[in-house]
Amino acid sequence: MTASNGRVAVVTGAGRGLGRAHALALAAEGVRVVVNDLGVGPDGEGGGPGPAECTAAEIRARGGQAVAHPGDVATPDGAASLVTTALETFGRLDALVNNAGFLRDRMLVNLGEDDWDAVVRVHLKGHFLPLRHAAAHWRAETKAGRPPAARVVNTTSGAGLLGSVGQAGYAAAKAGIAALTLVAAAELAPYGVLVNAVAPAARTRMTETVFAAGMAPPDRPDTFDAMAPENVSPLVVWLASAASRGVTGRVFEAEGGRITVMEGWHHGPTEDRAARRTPTEAGDAALRLLTRARPEEPVYGSR
């Protein structure tokens, strides 16, 4: 258990899947939750307030406190109102869980510009804008002498960390989220804000065909369902809590009962001759360095 101490969290994309699981898990720990969801389909089409309202109502039915926010967090007004809703409803904001997203998978040569723009917008801009508005609030609190113990949990993906065939737009956006996490962690540390990311693997509307095999057998419902989204939520709850003190700028992979600290770009083998090389000399140096470098992990779907 993590002591909530009256904390308030915003969870985007919380009407279904991972976001819903996170919202319910936070509420179970006594956290008051702003449940955001635009209500769109798995490809971003359609929309409506129903999913956000349903999750908020489910939390209230279990004795928790929640309010629905059906706005578009990839717009300045939607992101700003997300923070305003938390402050006007519960009087504070302690944690932001960025989770909203959808898929439009295509092989690169078939990927349309509109699909690319839509996916990058919801994932990357949909992380940036809520983070920007929440950070502005926390900075103001710090300057007013009320430093917060604030937390941000972003949602990246193995596709963004290692690549994934057929998911160029999604992978690019998720890689951007990983980099955004590092920058935000460094920039917001003076204001008491810790920023981390999770790369979950779970069965949701976007992945139900991929992870269907991970379901618990119907004749043994007590069997551990490794692909249930609820398996990811305990890590998210901890990262969003005051108990995660000192942990920032990290990316964790979470799947079933497994948690992995991901290690991103590091300086590897290097040569410096303090002089300009010819192309041939540069190529020879690159090949020598590659023999000393750690082998890269394969792109998902490439083998």
Give me the active site residues, please. Answer: 157, 170, 174
Distance (Å) of CA 282 to CA 32, 268, 271, 273, 274: 57, 16, 10, 11, 13
Distance CA 57, CA 81 (A): 20
Alpha-carbon torsion, ordered 298, 110, 121, 19, to 10 deg:
-60
